[in-house]
C-alpha cells in the first residue's frame, strides 16, 4: 500500500494523508491517535511513519465503533501493551466484539458472512477499551499530560464524538463526510435523524471558535459550514421523499428500501442493502416520533402508514420548498 505521511494542521496536531484522515497529536516522543484506520496494514504504515521520527503511539481515541475507525486498534495494542484506548460506553461493545455490528445489522440474529468480512462495518480483530468516556456529555480528558476536549455528536452512531486537541483543532469523525464521499453515496449513513440535525446545529455554533477542522473521510476542510448545509439539505430531502412515498400508500421497510435503491441506482449487494436499509429505519422512526406516521402489522406485514386523522406536530426540519402538499393543512 502507499506510504502514509503526516500532514501538519497546526503546531502538534496532524492527520494522515490517506483515504482515512487519522488524527495524530504529538507530545515529546508520544502520539495520541484519533481513530486508528481500517486494518492492521494501515496501522502498520501509520506506525512506520511515526517510528521514523522516533514517535510511539501512547493512546487512541476512537470517535466511534465502525471498523474503518477502530480496525487498527488491535495492532497498536499488541505492539504497545501499555497503550490507552478511549471511547464512549455505547461504542465500546462493538469495538471489543467484532461480531456485534454485523449481528445488529441482522436484527440481533446470526450475521451474514458478507457483513462479518466487511472491514468498514466491523473491526476484523477485537481490541480492549481501557478507558470509558462517561457520562456521554461534553468533557475534558487528560492524556500524556495534555487536555483533550470531547464533543458529543450523535447521529452517525448513537455515541459518536468529536475531539478537540490542545491546539484548538477539531477532529469530527463521521459527523460530516468529505465532498467525494458526499457525492458518491446518495443515502448518507445516519442512524438517528433527529440527533444528526441537532449535531449539525451544534457544529455550526462551534466552528467559529475552532482554528481548523479535520474530517475522517475528507481531511482538512478550510470552511466546513457549506458542507454541513449540504448534508442537512440532503437529509431533509431524503426524509421528505420517504414521507411523500408514504402519502401515496403504506409501505414496509423493505419496500421503502427497494424504492430508494432503485431510484438512486444503488448496487444490488448485501453491503449496499444494509447500508441503505438502516438509514431508512432511522427515517421511519423519526417520522413516527414526529407523529406523522404510525406502524401497523397487517397479515404479517409491518408497514408505515400516514396518520390521516391524528394529531400532527409541526416539524422544523422540512425544507419550505419541498413540503409535500399533504402537510400544508397541518402547519
Average pLDDT over residues 88-106: 96
CATH tag for 233-318 (out of 1.25.40.10, 3.10.129.10, 1.10.3720.10, 1.10.10.10): 1.10.10.10
Tell me: cis bond preceding 135? Omega within 30 of 0 counts. Answer: yes
Res 309: pLDDT: 56
Beta-carbon contacts of 228 under 8 Å, excluding residues fewer than 6 positions away, are 176, 200, 203, 204
154-181: pLDDT as tens digits: 999 999 999 999 999 999 999 999 999 9
* Phi, psi torsion values for 32, nearest 5 degrees: -110, 120
Res 311: pLDDT: 44
Asked whether residue 298 carries a pLDDT value surpassing 60, the answer given is yes
Confidence of residue 326 (pLDDT cuts 50, 70, 90): very low
Beta-carbon contacts of 226 under 8 Å, excluding residues fewer than 6 positions away, are none
Res 1: pLDDT: 60
Asked whether residue 232 carries a pLDDT value surpassing 90, the answer given is yes
Asked whether residue 322 carries a pLDDT value surpassing 90, the answer given is no
Three cell numbers written together for 137: 456529555
Domain ranges of the chain: 5-221, 233-318
220-233: b (≥16 Cβ within 10 Å) or e: bbeebeebbebbbe
For residues 291 and 64, what is the distance between their CA atoms, to the nearest angstrom?
30
58-69: b (≥16 Cβ within 10 Å) or e: bbbbbbbbbbbb
Three cell numbers written together for 158: 448513537
Domain range 5-221, CATH class: alpha beta
For residues 246 and 329, what is the distance between their CA atoms, to the nearest angstrom?
16
Amino acid at each position: 500500500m502507499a506510504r502514509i505521511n503526516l500532514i501538519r494542521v497546526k503546531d502538534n496536531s496532524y492527520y494522515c494523508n490517506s483515504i482515512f484522515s487519522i488524527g495524530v497529536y504529538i507530545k515529546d516522543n508520544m502520539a495520541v491517535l484519533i481513530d486508528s484506520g481500517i486494518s492492521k496494514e494501515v496501522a502498520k504504515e501509520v506506525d512506520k511513519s511515526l517510528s521514523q521520527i522516533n514517535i510511539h503511539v501512547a493512546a487512541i481515541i476512537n470517535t466511534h465503533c465502525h471498523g474503518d475507525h477502530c480496525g487498527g486498534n488491535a495492532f497498536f495494542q499488541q505492539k504497545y501493551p501499555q497503550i490507552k484506548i478511549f471511547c464512549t460506553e455505547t461504542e465500546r461493545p462493538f469495538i471489543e466484539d467484532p461480531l456485534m455490528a454485523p449481528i445488529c445489522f441482522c436484527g440481533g440474529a446470526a450475521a451474514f458472512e458478507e457483513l462479518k468480512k466487511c472491514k468498514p462495518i466491523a473491526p476484523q480483530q477485537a481490541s480492549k477499551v481501557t478507558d470509558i468516556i462517561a457520562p456521554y456529555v461534553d468533557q475534558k480528558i487528560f492524556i500524556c499530560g495534555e487536555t483533550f476536549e470531547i464533543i458529543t455528536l450523535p447521529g452517525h452512531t448513537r455515541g459518536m464524538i468529536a475531539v478537540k486537541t490542545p491546539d484548538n483543532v477539531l477532529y469530527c469523525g463521521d459527523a460530516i463526510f468529505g465532498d467525494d464521499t458526499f457525492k458518491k453515496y446518495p443515502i448518507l449513513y445516519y442512524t438517528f435523524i433527529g440527533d444528526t440535525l441537532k449535531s449539525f446545529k451544534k457544529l455550526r455554533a462551534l466552528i467559529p471558535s475552532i482554528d481548523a477542522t479535520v474530517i475522517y473521510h475528507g481531511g482538512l476542510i478550510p470552511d466546513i459550514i457549506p458542507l454541513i448545509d449540504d448534508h442537512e439539505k440532503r437529509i431533509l430531502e431524503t426524509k421528505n421523499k420517504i414521507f411523500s412515498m408514504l402519502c401515496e400508500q403504506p409501505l414496509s421497510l423493505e419496500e421503502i428500501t427497494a424504492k430508494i435503491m432503485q431510484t438512486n441506482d444503488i448496487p444490488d449487494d448485501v453491503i449496499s442493502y444494509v447500508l441503505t436499509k438502516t438509514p431508512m429505519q432511522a427515517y421511519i422512526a423519526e417520522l413516527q416520533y414526529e407523529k406523522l406516521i404510525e406502524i401497523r402489522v397487517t397479515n404479517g406485514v409491518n408497514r408505515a402508514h400516514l396518520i390521516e386523522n391524528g394529531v400532527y406536530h409541526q416539524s422544523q426540519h422540512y425544507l419550505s420548498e419541498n413540503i409535500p402538499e399533504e402537510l400544508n393543512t397541518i402547519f
